[in-house]
Amino acid sequence: MLKAKKKILITGGSGALGLNIQKLVKCDTPNSKELDITDFKKCEKAIKRYDPDIVIHCAAWTDVAGAEKNKKGCWDVNVKGTENMVKVADGRRFVYISTDYVFDGEKGNYKENDTPNPTNFYSLTKLMGEAVISQHDNTLIIRTAFKPDGPWKYPKAFVDQFLCSDFASERAPDIVKASLMINLKGVIHISGRKKSVYELAKRVSPNVGKMSIKDVSVKLPQYITLNSLLWRKISKQNRVKK
């Protein structure tokens, strides 16, 4: 485990990414009862109690289909919750975990300066979270893509949606590295190679079935690969400051 001199607080510590970050670096991970990000006062109390140098904001509503049914709930977590946390962070380094879904999926291989165009409510809220973060200094937006480790949680997987996801345990090391690069700010893409969702699912569940994005009611982006050349260049040139 990396023992960074900087004090780190993670929101969403019980999620797939948060759990894997905890295996790599010493950090504080208040549970959702102590730190309900939709409750500004609880956010204030948590920051005062832990007094972190860095906040890695992993907490998010990630149920894409559920977001269409409960837009208020999704907005409260992904936009209001993000706004609460970056405000109480009050200038501390703040790392926001965003998503490849901010793009419309019409072409893929998206670079950091490409224009986002959300296709569903979940992706809209994540982009609005980015807008909130960009109004504050000392912040980093990491657009990334990952799935929880372990067997595929669904009986089928999309053969016609192409992304750059790997599993959370594979993505966490680079996210920790980027978070500890205190001079890295703005927007960065961190991702893997292009693959279909089905290809990814087969890695952990060989008998997973096939389906199309046309089989679901919510509109999903089709080609959402991220171009991570900038991150790979920065990663090679920089060593993490402990």
122 flagged as catalytic: yes
The answer to whether the CB of 191 falls within 8 A of the CB of 144 is: yes
The answer to whether 126 and 59 have CB atoms below 8 angstroms apart is: no
Domain membership flag for residue 1: no
User: What are the tens digits of pLDDT across the range 142-156?
Assistant: 999 999 999 999 999
**Number of domains composing the chain:** 1
Residue 117 lies in a domain: yes
Task: Report pLDDT digits (tens) over 37-47.
Answer: 999 999 999 99
The token pair that represents 114 in the structure block: 């490409």
> 19: which 2 tokens?
């759990």
What interhelical angle do 81-89 and 40-50 show, nearest 10?
A: 40
Separation CA 190–CA 146 (nearest Å): 10
From 118, 115, 128, select the one nearest 78 (Cα to Cα). Answer: 128
Residue 101 lies in a domain: yes
Nearest to 122 by CA among 228, 231, 43, 216: 216
Is 180 part of any domain?
yes
Structural domain containing residue 21: 8-150+167-193+226-237
- Residue 3 has a pLDDT of 65
Question: Could you say which of 110, 122, 198, 223 is catalytic?
Answer: 122
The pTM assigned to this predicted structure is 0.95
| Spatial CA neighbour of 66 closest among 121, 2, 131, 125 | 121
Token pair recorded at residue 217: 């009611």
- Which pLDDT score, from 0 to 100, does residue 242 have? 45
pLDDT for the residue numbered 238: 77
Helices (H), the chain: 16-22, 40-50, 64-69, 71-75, 81-89, 121-133, 168-180, 197-204, 229-237
In a domain, 160, yes or no: no
- Where the chain has pLDDT below 50, the residues are 240-242
d(CA 41, CA 179): 25
**81 in a structural domain:** yes
CATH value at residue 132: 3.40.50.720
Whether 3 is in a domain gets the answer: no
Asked whether residue 158 is assigned to any structural domain, the reply reads no
